Amino acid sequence: MQLVAESIDDKSQKLFNIIDQLASLTEQARKMQYEINQLNNDQAESMSELLLLCEHLGHLSKTEYHSKREY
């Protein structure tokens, strides 16, 4: 009977260790997902700025083209 109780205690301890590891991994996954979201936001912001710059440069080149044609 004592052997069975020791076995149950051992298995319970292993189960609690697994639960602790799972909680730790879950927290790490949340942190990584947050960082991925931040990178996606930064990338989207950079892409938006690049598109605005391209539009501005396109507008400048059209203006320059029309200015040269007037001469």
Q: Is residue 68 very low, low, confident or very high in pLDDT (cuts 50, 70, 90)?
A: low
pLDDT for 29: 96
> Quick one: what percent of the chain has pLDDT higher than 70?
92
Q: Diameter of the chain by CA atoms?
A: 105
pLDDT at 65 over 70: no
Structure tokens at 44: 């989207």
Residue 46 lies in a domain: yes
Total structural domains in the chain? 1
d(CA 36, CA 26): 15
| pLDDT tens digits, one per residue of 2-31 | 888 899 999 999 999 999 999 999 999 999
Domain ranges, residue 34: 28-54
Residue 43 lies in a domain: yes
